[in-house]
A and B are shown apart, each in its own frame.
Chain A
Amino acid sequence: MSEAVSLKEVSKSYGEIQAVKDLNLNIPTGIVYGLLGPNGSGKSTTMKMMLSLVKPDSGSISIYGVDPQKDPLAVKRMIGYVPETLRLYEFLTSWEYLEFLCVIHGLNPSEEEPRIKEFFEAFELKGHENEMMGGYSHGMKQKIAIISALLGKPKLLILDEPLSGLDPKSAKIVKDLLTELSKEGVTTIFSTHVMEIADAICDKIGILYNGKKIVEATPAEIKKMANVPGSSLEQVFLEITGSSELKPIVDALIGKSDKH
């Protein structure tokens, strides 16, 4: 399998805060790669560097052989992106917004309409096409953000918390879609805090902690690391990110700290 994404010794800091440190990633084409880690571990910064939105301080990045800093336009043509915080044009209807994105991504005019309709039906948004998005619920907006990432037929999907706010049925659709796209050779990198989702759809998982990659393996391999039969991915995650000793913290928060 050829490499879709390659990061070599990539570092990025914001002032005194080291967001990413000497990160190496090699993501083969056509897999679903889960980027996990606690808040502030550097997942979003890593994704933004792949998109050329953030410039790394050092190291090199290659997206299908293209350096995002040298040719951001070529990289953007290959990527579909769902940001962590939704950023839609609230004053447009979803139909107008997706039509806008079709043109921006250079889709053939004849395939725009059927493609948008297909997505509207799949995500059960039919009947809402002509409503201004300002009136949408969070889940509906999230669906539109996911559609907008898929619309331009990307080779690489970068999805930052794509399933937050989605109802179970839509979440299932997205999961199935990612698996199908993977079979067609589309690479997906996505972050999530829900371990069951990562376990269910990821071919490979990388866990970041304080800007560093501490583990990279398949979900099954990661579960084996716990050395306890029947361990869940969540248990292993908490163990390796040093968050397993939560009871004293919880107790302290509810005022039982003096008992410890």
Chain B
Amino acid sequence: MNLVTSLKIADILILASARVKSTGMKVKSKTSIWEYTNFTMAAFFAILSCAGVFYAVQNYGISSIMVKLIFDQIAFFIPVGVTFSCIIFAVFYEFNQSTFNISLDAINWLPISASDYVLGSSICTLYFSLPILGLAYGASLILALMTNSLMVWGLSLFLGIVGGLIGGFATEILRALTNKASTTLFKKGGRASIIGRFILYMVFLSAFMIIFNSVVILQIAEWFNIVAGGAWFFPLFWPSLAVLSLQTNDLLMSLVYSSLSLLLAGIFFVTGSKIRERNWVPEPVSSVISSAETLKPLATSKGFLGFGRVEAKIIEKDFRGLIRRRELMVYLAVPFIMIIISIVSEGLGVLFDPAAHPTEKVGLFGNFGLGVIYLVYFLSIISIGQEGGAAINLLTAPIKPSNIARAKLISALILPLIIFALMILSIIIIVKPDTSLLMLSIVFGLSCITETSEVGLILGSRFVDYNEVPRARFVRPEGIIAGIIVVGMILLSNFATLWFAEDLELGVVTVPAQALMIAFLGLILNIAFLKILPSNIKHGLEKAPI
């Protein structure tokens, strides 16, 4: 393994995203440090969280015991949290490579060893998690200074980086395994193989995300009653246990767990390198959808739901991409993962508890709803970027940005709305809520889903990333973070409306009043977002490689 080569690979993978916004032919003699925006963002978030925590501790009279307790918990959770967040982020953001494009990537024929690539790629994954790390370490640093626990903080920082690399290596294992699946099973085949590939990927990704989810692991640990003394049973907790041991002044165990964490990182690294060595590159899928004699009649491609043929065709194209492109399939796994995690962590008991209030039961579905929000968010934010180089087809076509905006909006909404409808149907069957609560759930859900889709499309166009090699990310990291913040604010504003309406005490019609207020807010936001959507889409498409 050559560390210099690995760092260079990481550098290239990072710059691929950083430079996508430069449309002109600017010539710079050397790379500027400012191109590595995530360092700046991490520093910004670190200072912000540091100041925020300091202000909160000073102004809200938090006792020193409480400060110590909070620090201990954060310092313990950071290493394991970083591992899991790196995996989640990498799978959703760094995993998007079309088999066709990776097969053409120069990295395949350059003299680079599998271990160089795995380390470089994992460092790149860690880089993209830097803003989150900045937030966590900034907040914990001020607490460490207040409680005189800088050594614990330092160990937590070091093991957080080790944890992040473990997450990166784990993702590399998944990446290489999917390469193998693509090559061995689906080189040739028909429609059935496309569906088979789709299902296999969904199962594969869902299983991976669930196995590596902290909530699920903690729940399993709780089921087996091993949380307190037996967390060592789960290797991914070793970095956190090293921190915990140092907190309790058990230096020997801290050293043991730290060494075990490094060993674990080594095992993941070697495994990742070995698997990649054997399955370096997938072969592009070459499927025949149906026999040459059975051509689909063209006259059927009419518009639907009031949309014209142009919009209908773009929607159809996007939908085909969603089930045929392996780099997009990961987004479809989101709601299933969220639902399973939610069931594992909270159980379904409350649904069948006759004493539970209907609001509580509907609330459980709210957790599932978060999966739908994730789905619509990702489908919309990647919608323009996933066109890749082929965006020129839309750019040179005689169609208005408003047509594209409408089509993209429907493409992003269609699946989430189907899942949402199924959720509402389940609520009706299982919870049997009264009409007003049901109405509130529908209005609330629709409002959040539509607003999220519009924000996703706007930010996905503003921060579009058309790069297809070495990574297809569809949207720049700043866009993803900005989107999460804006969508968070939207959800918060909808929840705030719920609480505000409750406080108004509008007599016996509180629930319909809440629904009306949310509908009103939704109407205003939807109109505002729809107004600015076409110009943003036009702006995004103009950045397409021509």
- What are 10 A-B pairs with beta-carbon distances under 8 A? A73-B400, A76-B398, A81-B396, A90-B98, A93-B289, A96-B320, A109-B309, A113-B299, A126-B292, A134-B98
Against A, the Cβ 8 Å flags (1 = close, 0 = not) of B292-315 are: 101111110100000001101110
Known: A93-B289, A113-B297. A85 touches B389 (CB 8 A): yes
Contact of A90 among B25, B26, B100 (CB under 8 A): B100
Q: Mark A129-157, 1 if CB is under 8 A from B, else 0.
A: 11110110000000000000000100000
- Cβ of B406 within 8 Å of any chain A Cβ, yes or no, is no
Considering only CB atoms, which chain B residue lies closest to A102 in the complex? B298
> Which of B292, B298, B325, B546 is in CB contact (< 8 Å) with A53?
B546
CB distance from A156 to the nearest CB of B (A): 12
Contact for A127 among B292, B316, B389, CB less than 8 A: B292
In the bound complex, CA of A152 to CA of B297 (Å): 19
Contact residue among A79, A91, A130, A135 (Cβ-Cβ distance under 8 Å from B324): A91
Question: Which residues of chain A have C-beta atoms less than 8 A from B288's C-beta?
Answer: 130-132
Q: In the bound complex, do residue A101 and residue B393 qualify as a contact, i.e. CB atoms below 8 Å apart?
A: yes
Complex partner residue of A76 from B287, B295, B309, B397, CB under 8 angstroms: B397
A134 touches B290 (CB 8 A): no
Judge if A51 is at the interface, Cβ distance under 8 Å. Answer: yes
Give B395's nearest chain A residue, CB to CB.
A53
Say yes or no for A95: interface residue by CB 8 A criterion.
yes
Tell me if B298 and A99 are in contact (CB < 8 A).
Answer: yes
Task: Tell me whether A131 and B398 are in contact (CB under 8 A).
Answer: no
> Does any Cβ of B come within 8 Å of A92's Cβ?
yes
Closest Cβ neighbor of A112 among chain B residues: B298
Q: With the chains together, A93 CA to B294 CA distance in Å?
A: 13
Secondary structure class of chain A's binding surface, majority of residues: mixed
Task: Give the residue name and chain of the B residue nearest to A16 (CB).
Answer: B27
- CB closest chain-A residue, reference B292: A127
Contact indicator B390/A134 (Cβ below 8 Å): no
Instruction: Flag if B310 contacts A131 (CB, 8 Å).
Output: no
Q: Are A53 and B27 in contact (CB under 8 A)?
A: no
CB within 8 Å of B: which residues of A? 14-17, 48, 51, 53-54, 73-74, 76-77, 79, 81, 83, 85, 87-93, 95-96, 99-106, 109-110, 112-113, 116, 126-132, 134-135, 152
Contacts known (A15-B25, A76-B397, A87-B389); A130 close to B295, Cβ less than 8 A: yes
- Known A-B contacts: A135-B284, A135-B285. Give 16 more (CB < 8 A): A15-B24, A16-B27, A53-B392, A76-B398, A83-B392, A90-B98, A91-B321, A91-B324, A92-B320, A99-B313, A101-B397, A104-B394, A109-B299, A109-B301, A113-B298, A132-B286
Task: Please determine whether B392 and A100 come into contact, CB atoms closer than 8 angstroms.
Answer: no
A91 touches B325 (CB 8 A): yes
Residue of A whose beta carbon sits closest to that of B294: A130
Cα separation A48 to B545 with both chains bound (whole Å): 12
Cβ contact of B397, chosen from A88, A104, A128, cutoff 8 A: A104
Q: Does B8 sit within 8 A of A, measured CB to CB?
A: no
| Shortest distance from the beta carbon of A139 to any chain B beta carbon, whole Å | 15
Contacts of B287 in A (CB 8 A): 131-132, 135
Chain B 387-412 interface residues, beta-carbon cutoff 8 Å to A:
388-400
Q: How far is the CA of A113 from the CA of B324 in the complex (A)?
A: 24
Q: Which of B324-351 contact A (CB under 8 A)?
A: 324-325
Q: Which of B289, B314, B399 contacts A132 (CB 8 A)?
A: B289
B398 touching A73 by the CB < 8 A rule? yes
Q: Do A110 and B320 touch (CB < 8 A)?
A: no
Tell me the bound Cα distance from A15 to B324 in angstroms: 40
When the two chains form their complex, are residues B297 and A134 in contact, meaning their CB atoms are under 8 A apart?
A: no
A76-B398, A127-B292 as given contacts; A132 in contact with B298, CB under 8 Å: no
Report which of A16, A77, A79, A89 forms a contact with B321, defined as CB distance below 8 A.
A89
* B291 interfacial by beta-carbon distance below 8 Å: yes
The answer to whether A14 touches B24, judged by C-beta atoms less than 8 angstroms apart, is yes
- With A77-B398, A130-B288, A130-B292: A100-B313 Cβ-Cβ less than 8 Å: yes
Residue contact A134 to B284, C-beta cutoff 8 Å: yes
In Å, the complex CA distance between A117 and B295 comes to: 10
Give the residue of A74, A76, A96, A126 whose beta carbon is less than 8 angstroms from that of B396.
Answer: A76
The answer for the CA separation of A51 and B392 in the assembled complex, in Å, is 11
B317 in contact (CB, < 8 A):
yes
C-alpha spacing A217/B291, complex, angstroms? 50
**Closest chain B residue to A99 by CB distance?**
B298
A residues near B99, Cβ cutoff 8 Å: 134
Q: How far is the CA of A93 from the CA of B309 in the complex (A)?
A: 19
Q: A53-B396, A53-B546, A106-B398 are in contact. Are A132 and B299 (CB under 8 A)?
A: no
The answer for the CA separation of A83 and B25 in the assembled complex, in Å, is: 19
> Smallest CB-CB separation from B101: which chain A residue?
A90
Of the residues B301, B316, B320, contact of A91 by C-beta under 8 Å? B320
Contact of A15 among B26, B292, B316 (CB under 8 A): B26
Listed residue (A91, A92, A131, A135) with the most chain B CB atoms within 10 angstroms of its CB: A91
Contact A104 B398 (CB under 8 A): yes
Which residues of B lie under 8 Å from residue A53 when comparing CB positions?
A: 392, 395-396, 546
Of A95, A105, A130, A135, most buried by chain B (CB within 10 Å of CB) is A130
Cα–Cα distance between A167 and B545 once the two chains are bound (Å): 27
Q: Name B546's contact: one of A83, A126, A135 (CB within 8 Å).
A: A83
CB-based contact B285/A88 at 8 Å: no
Q: A83-B546, A91-B321, A95-B295 are in contact. Are A103 and B27 (CB under 8 A)?
A: no
- B301→A99 contact, CB < 8 A: yes
- In the assembled complex, how far is the CB of residue A85 from the closest CB belonging to chain B, in whole angstroms? 7
* A52 CA / B387 CA spacing, docked (Å): 20
Cα of A74 to Cα of B398 in the assembled complex, Å: 7
What are the residues of chain A within 8 A of B313 when measuring CB–CB? 99-100, 103-104
